[in-house]
Chain A
Amino acid sequence: MKLNILTLVAVCALAASAAMADKKATDTSPAEDLKVYRDYFQKRFPGIAINEFGNGSYALDAVARDNWLAIEEFPPYEPMIDAGESIWNKPFANGKSFATCFSDDPAQRQNFPYWDAKRKMVVTMELAINECLESNGEKPMGYNKGKIADLAAYMAYQSRGQKINVEVPDDAGALKAYNDGKSYYFTRRGQLNFSCAHCHMESAGMHIRSELLSPAIGQASGWPVYRAKWGELGTLHRRFGGCNEQVRAKKLKPQSEEYRNLEYFLTHMSNGIEYNGPSARK
């Protein structure tokens, strides 16, 4: 059923605001974008401090926020942080460990995602985790949930308070990766024909059925997330897949080039906001 999955507009249709309307992804620089997106959300939600956007929809609704704060008092992800710490400390068969790959410091969040100029690709923290395993003769982990999410939760927890500061260097490849992620965010897809921006820019703060839609800025700060609906931790790319399926689009493989570029764009959009993972969500 080709018809169902397609409907991709070749050039992204930016529809979130007048300032973003009818522009191609390549028309504006990452720095200009950041300003436009921030201004857009700060006008839409006046009085909300920029760092608050890292709390997703809970930044926008006092009642939901209170319930959420109560949950965060006894966080459901606490045992997973401990499990992640054990994974961090457990030596590989060759005697080395994750500490060897990550300069002895689990507080790595602020170093990812980044553009690797030599390999010409975006490297995410989860990718670096599996590359560490493989380069030490160990088996890689599944990307959506489970052990990798536990380890990422421990690393994120150790990194809390670091400010997001994704740089898009002056490099044609880096800029293309960023723009590809940006186009992905603004392109309609799936049988229901929505872009990410239709829900998380134009409709942010509105309800889709009883779900309050979170704003695009800040969406990358709190991962991995413990979702009550999942009953466990999941990674950002798992969420991408879920949001693709909501519009009846095919989800992509976690850590595919498309999703890594999407993470690059989305995290850049959150620049200036603190990493605050792991988090709890509905």
Chain B
Amino acid sequence: MRKTAKLATTALSLAALFTGASMAPSVAGAADDASIKMGKEVAYDRKKGNCLACHMMDDGASPGDIGPPLIAMKARFPDRAKLRAQVWNAMDNNPGTRMPAFGKYQALSEAEIDAIVDYLYTL
């Protein structure tokens, strides 16, 4: 699932903004695919995101049902920063949430969160 060059560039520059890292792959489309693949791996990994513990998403087996299904993400989260913030610290949006603060408590690295957001946008 390739994104258009324009979207990919926006995503990358936003990611750079958040991480403070400069990412300038020569072929934007290829880097994007790699990031989406990594995002999915990190999201499914029980020792990393373990998002399936609570969310139905994509083709993940036996998902939990504590959180809402993660579908139509681009339509529901047109603002990438909002989506990233939800993963980085869900408590900002809802102090009583049961969703772990993956960024704030360093359960995931900044790069892993960026990759997850890339992946979420394909759902």
Chain A residues at the B interface, C-beta cutoff of 8 Å: 3-4, 7, 13, 15, 21, 191-194, 198-199, 202-203, 206-211, 248
User: Are B64 and A209 closer than 8 Å at their CB atoms?
Assistant: yes
Chain A residues near B106 (CB-CB < 8 A):
3-4, 191
Pick from B52, B98, B107: contact of A198, CB under 8 Å:
B98
Scan B46-80; emit 1 where CB is below 8 A from any A CB, else 0: 00001011100000001111100000000000000
Q: Closest B-chain residue to A203, C-beta based? A: B66
> For the complex, what is the distance from the CA of A191 to the CA of B102, rounded to whole Å?
8
Interface residues of B, CB < 8 Å — how many? 18
CA distance A210 to B62 in the complex (A): 6
Contact B105 A207 (CB under 8 A): no
**Minimum distance in angstroms from A97 CB to a CB of chain B:** 47
Instruction: Provide a sorted-by-A list of 27 A–B residue pairs whose CB atoms are within 8 angstroms.
Output: A3-B105, A4-B105, A4-B106, A7-B105, A21-B96, A191-B100, A191-B105, A191-B106, A192-B100, A192-B107, A193-B91, A193-B100, A193-B101, A203-B66, A206-B64, A206-B65, A206-B66, A207-B64, A208-B53, A208-B54, A208-B64, A208-B66, A209-B50, A209-B62, A209-B63, A210-B62, A248-B107
Distance of B53 from chain A, by nearest CB (Å): 5
Q: What string of 1s and 0s marks CB contacts (under 8 Å) between B80-117 and chain A?
A: 00000000000100011010110001110000000000
Asked if B66 and A207 sit within 8 Å, CB to CB, the answer is yes
B96 to chain A, nearest CB (A): 4
Contacts of B100 in A (CB 8 A): 191-194
Contacts of A208 in B (CB 8 A): 53-54, 64, 66
A212→B100 CA distance, assembly (Å):
19
On chain A, the residues within 8 Å of B64 by CB distance are: 206-211
The CA of A199 and the CA of B53, in the complex, are separated in Å by 12
A interface majority secondary structure: loop
Of the candidates A21, A193, A206, the one whose C-beta lies within 8 Å of that of B105 is A193
CB-defined contacts of A193 to chain B, threshold 8 Å = 91, 100-101, 105
Q: How far is the CB of B60 from chain A (nearest CB, A)?
A: 10
Contact of A194 among B50, B62, B95, B98 (CB under 8 A): B98
Which residues of the other chain, A, contact B53 by a CB distance below 8 angstroms?
208-209
How far is B53's CA from A21's CA once the two chains are assembled, in angstroms? Answer: 25
Q: Please, which residues of chain B bring their CB within 8 A of the CB of A3? A: 105-106
**Candidate in A21, A208, A211 with the most chain B CB atoms within 10 angstroms:** A208
Partner of B96, one of A7, A13, A210, A248: A13
**How far is B50's CA from A198's CA once the two chains are assembled, in angstroms?**
17
Q: Which 4 A-B pairs have the closest CB atoms?
A: A192-B100, A210-B62, A15-B96, A207-B64
Give complex CA distance A199, B96 in Å.
12
Chain B nearest CB, measured from A230 CB (Å): 19
With A207-B63, A208-B64 known, 14 other A-B pairs at CB within 8 A are A3-B105, A4-B105, A7-B105, A15-B96, A191-B100, A191-B106, A207-B66, A208-B54, A209-B50, A209-B52, A209-B62, A209-B63, A209-B64, A211-B64
Closest B residue to A7 by CB, please name it.
Answer: B105
CA distance A191 to B66 in the complex (A): 18
Taken together as a complex, chains A and B put the C-alpha atoms of A276 and B60 apart, in Å, by 37
Choose from B52, B63, B98 the contact partner of A202 (Cβ within 8 Å). B98
A203 to B65, CA, bound (A): 9
Q: Is A203 a contact partner of B107 (Cβ separation < 8 A)?
A: no
List the B side residues contacting A4 at CB < 8 Å. 105-106
